[in-house]
Structure 1
Amino acid sequence: MNAYLLIIIPLIGAVLAALWPRRKSRPLFLPAVGLAHTILCFLLLAKPEAVEPAAWLAFDPLARAILPGVSLLFLVCACYTVGYLRLKEQDNRVFVPALLLVLGLLSAAHQARHLGILWIATEAVTLACVPLIHFNGTPKSFEATWKYLLVGGTGIALSLLGSICLGYASLHGGGSGDITFTALLAHGPNLSRAWVLTAWVLLLVGYGTKMGLAPMHTWKPDAYGESPGIVGALLAGGVTSVAFMALLRIKSVVDAAGEGAVASRTLLAIGLFSTLVAALFLLRTRNFKRMLAYSSIEHMGILCIATSLGGPGVWAALFHVWSNGLTKGALFLSAANLQRVADSSSIDDVRGMSKVLPRTSILFVVGMFAITACPPFGPFFSELLIIRTGLDAGQGWAIGLFLVCLLLAFFGISRIVFAVVDGRPRLKKPNPAHLKESAGLILPPLFLLAASLWLGLFTPDILKGAWSAAVLQLFPMP
């Protein structure tokens, strides 16, 4: 029952926020609901409930391994949003309920143990994000929203076709057409391999579009660049995580059907391609929010590379979901502070921010080192583990290319970050009313960076156990 509360609480909060008459106090629903959700998530992480094998929704080991991190990120972003919306004159009657709706749908998608429920919840998240991306109401944000819908709609259609094909694989394999993941795994060897491979290709492209894997990444730079920083943080750390979780569940079925080698090769190829494309764009872009979008593409590729390496790689990937989500969240919130004052995210218009927003600039630089896998932050240890796992698996050539991409990404990101914070102040349209670095705008990104540091240095045993249980659920020992 507690697992269902993770879905119910945000949905009730969304309804109440939509009905709340006062614009200024409406954002307080976000931290209130976020706190309740995070507390419940971590209670279930510490004391998991028994999971009924035939359940369509449950807080199973894979949900335990990912959802608490997403919930924590939402809570921190919610606290930031209260201060952020005080500086905005737009009506937030849609924005606040939409954020809570996204949290509820993410909770449903993470706990979905039925292929159809997973598709419905994931695609509902896609649609619920539309008003969030369009919140600023500018022509560019409208264009970004339209591109997000167009590309995302293609992903919706392909993932639906893939889900249908996986159902046919069960029917043609002598099964009953039951598409719960428990049934699909149990009947894995009997599934029609032709239908399984067809489903895998469609689902990889469909859910890969939501992750922002290249070449299906075209929506990401515009959506991240034109939406508020808090939305970018949730897209990068929450929405992409649920799409990755969907691929993990589906790959476990493909492995059970005897086609794991094919799935691993395709994941390795698309992962390397995504990291390479992202690295090359990072060397060219001149916009620090689009930089974060390309960095997200890079890290989604890293997750695919890790997953292609088998069980140990999946463990490292789950570690990286947490470390990337926390660090990327800090960068998006810091970038939101910079853009709020400068009214631009182009390095042609924004320079010398260390003298205008010194605390935010420090956080932005530290976040840059963290996301580029510099020790001792979480991404360093998760990526190091991926590299070691790849070398142990005999994928030296892939790891070599991966390291080259990481180096290029470091040069690209550091070039932009130091251009923003260094030099004499140069702002396109300075807004003196927004120059104050209040605690509500500084403490959230600071907390996320501290959490990333703590995760790298003192990874708690409870998380290690959750990641191990998730790997065992996905790839049970014979």
Structure 2
Amino acid sequence: MYLIWIFVLLPLLGALVAWLIPDNRRRALVLPVVAALHLALTVTLLVQTPPPSPDRWIFLDPLGKLSLLCNSILFFVCANYAVGYLKLRRKRPNRVLCISLLVCLSAMTLVAIAQHLGLLWIALEMTTITMAPLIYFNRNARSIEATWKYLLICSVGIAIALLGLFFLAYSTIVAKQEVTLLLGTLIDTAADLHAGWRHAAFIFLLVGFGSKMGLAPLHTWKPDAYGEAPGLVGALLAGGLVNCALLALLRVYQIAVASTEAELFQEVLLGMGLLSMAFAAVFMARQSDFKRMLAYSSVEHVGIIAVALGLGKGALFGALLHMVNNALTKGVLFLSCGNIHRAYNSKSTQFVRGALRRTPWSGALFLAAFLAITGSPPFGPFVSEFTIVSSAFVQQNYWTAALFLLFLAMIFMGMASTVIPVVLGKVPDDLERTPYRDTAPTVWPPLVLMALVLMLGLWLPESLQELLHQAAGLLEGGR
């Protein structure tokens, strides 16, 4: 058990070291060192999982393992990218950025291992707070607006989730049970909780955690935050933070499945998922800011996961696989588009053309990641999306399958109308000449992620398959 606490405290120790180092260049090196140690510990804990803590507040179950592995890989890649990125931004102080990234890693780790919903809520709120200074890193009027919008909407959402936890705890009191927010106990007694308070708790928790995920219509913070944050921060927002909020929602899903309200909870998720995909399809069309476009892509993919959770059964495996695929692919998109942004000093499609000529590696990665994220074979998202839509047909839920495919087609066309001119167009003759060009430190991290996305489309490791099946079993009501 001591290894798990080292796991949580390691990034905090790294944050302290980063605070003490006076030099900007050397401080950035703390990030990949801590990230490498964290990833090594993650693999160790996946292989040799310690038993639950005596009070059962801390335990790494299959759902937590999946979230932790995904976030640790993504953070490792982003931390290595940060070294090259911060070298380009050497005039900008990076102490706050380095400390916030490491504290956020600690909070994401705690989200994955928490089996007490109160502790999970605290860790999730910590991720909200630590992300705010990262979004504001560029320190301009638009980034401060995006930061405040992010803080306001996510804080309201997380406060609503806290009320949901209060209602859930109160339902145990009304049912004359021992008051607890321990996940295992709540699952065991879910059917005996007071129906009214339990129902209210589920609604508040779905709205609260849904706003943190960015499910429509609770997604309004995403376009500004993703559009104004640096690329590596956008990758962590779209991959790491979304996965943390999703894990919190999956904990509620486990309780709902064990109660008598599983069908209602799934229907609401199905509706919100399709609504999210519809919003993404509408707002992605003719999008002139390619970083905002990625925000709507994130709305689409949390919608896809919500649809899969709403379908249940075989789609649960697809939902969890898509969680992994989405996080890795979003990492490629945000890191490569961050490189393109710096090369052109713009994120408007009016000025950004011919990225393959000016930044060949980043342009190629951005194009490949676009094909992957829109569900094109042979990449990982194709496999997970095919699994989900196949499950809809197997369940004879033809309307859901039809809408799912329609929205996917609309989103593909909308994204293509933005991405293809950015990547394949002609570089404008009067374009501002910026010094940035592709370099190894800013190219190899997204290249590694792209290789993983391709691998998951061609071959799913047996150990990962087993972990996905175990996690899906928990969502089906297993222990």
**TM-score with structure 2 setting the length:** 0.97
1:196 is displaced (CA, Å) by 1.3
1:422 is displaced (CA, Å) by 2.2
Aligned to 2:122: 120
Q: Structure 2 unaligned segments of length 5 or more: list them.
A: none
Aligned pair 1:263/2:265, yes or no? yes
CA distance in 1, matches of 2:244, 2:82: 22
Aligned pair 1:236/2:238, yes or no? yes
Aligned to 2:46: 45
CA distance in 1, matches of 2:434, 2:261: 60
1:53 is displaced (CA, Å) by 7.8
Change (3 A) 1:428 1:306: farther
Change (3 A) 1:429 1:17: farther
What are the superposed Cα offsets for residues 380-438 of structure 1, whole Å, 9 maximum, x if unpaired? 00000011111122211011101101001101111111111222213886353212x11
Counterpart residue type for residue 477 of structure 2: P
Equivalent residue in structure 1 for 2:350, among 335, 348, 351: 348
Alignment of 1:46-85 (within 5 A): 46-52=47-53, 54-85=55-86
1:48 is displaced (CA, Å) by 2.2
Alignment of 1:112-191 (within 5 A): 112-191=114-193
Q: Is the 8 A contact 1:76 1:444 kept in 2?
A: yes
CA distance in 2, matches of 1:135, 1:212: 22
Q: Is the partner of 2:92 in helix, strand or coil?
A: coil
CA distance in 1, matches of 2:256, 2:430: 52
Q: Is the 8 A contact 1:378 1:452 kept in 2?
A: yes
1:127 is displaced (CA, Å) by 0.7
CA distance in 2, matches of 1:48, 1:81: 31
Counterpart residue type for residue 278 of structure 2: L
Q: Is the 8 A contact 1:70 1:238 kept in 2?
A: yes
Equivalent residue in structure 1 for 2:370, among 368, 373, 385: 368
Change (3 A) 1:422 1:474: closer
Counterpart residue type for residue 41 of structure 1: T
1:124 is displaced (CA, Å) by 1.0
Change (3 A) 1:393 1:51: farther
What are the superposed Cα offsets for residues 148-181 of structure 1, whole Å, 9 maximum, x if unpaired? 1111121021011111011111211221111100
Counterpart residue type for residue 459 of structure 1: L
Counterpart residue type for residue 266 of structure 2: S
CA distance in 1, matches of 2:203, 2:40: 38
Counterpart residue type for residue 370 of structure 1: A
Aligned to 2:428: 426
Q: Is the 8 A contact 2:128 2:154 kept in 1?
A: yes
**Identical-residue share of aligned pairs (%):** 42
Change (3 A) 1:429 1:219: farther
My pick for the range that moved more, 165-174 or 102-111, is: 165-174
Counterpart residue type for residue 332 of structure 1: F
CA distance in 2, matches of 1:402, 1:53: 45
Counterpart residue type for residue 82 of structure 1: V
Alignment coverage as a number of residue pairs: 477
Q: Is the 8 A contact 1:350 1:427 kept in 2?
A: no
Q: Is the 8 A contact 1:343 1:428 kept in 2?
A: no
CA distance in 1, matches of 2:463, 2:268: 32
CA distance in 1, matches of 2:409, 2:54: 44
CA distance in 2, matches of 1:286, 1:427: 20
1:57 is displaced (CA, Å) by 1.8
Aligned to 2:196: 194
My pick for the range that moved more, 8-17 or 419-428, is: 419-428
Counterpart residue type for residue 38 of structure 1: L
Counterpart residue type for residue 46 of structure 1: V
Q: Is the 8 A contact 2:257 2:477 kept in 1?
A: no
Q: Is the 8 A contact 1:359 1:442 kept in 2?
A: yes
Q: Is the 8 A contact 2:286 2:417 kept in 1?
A: no
Q: Is the partner of 1:94 in helix, strand or coil?
A: helix
My pick for the range that moved more, 385-394 or 363-372, is: 385-394
CA distance in 1, matches of 2:87, 2:53: 45
What are the superposed Cα offsets for residues 98-130 of structure 1, whole Å, 9 maximum, x if unpaired? 001110000001111111111111011001100
**TM-score with structure 1 setting the length:** 0.97
1:194 is displaced (CA, Å) by 1.1
1:457 is displaced (CA, Å) by 1.2
CA distance in 1, matches of 2:408, 2:248: 26
My pick for the range that moved more, 229-238 or 390-399, is: 390-399
Q: Is the 8 A contact 2:316 2:475 kept in 1?
A: no
Ranges of 4+ aligned residues in structure 1 off by more than 4 Å = none
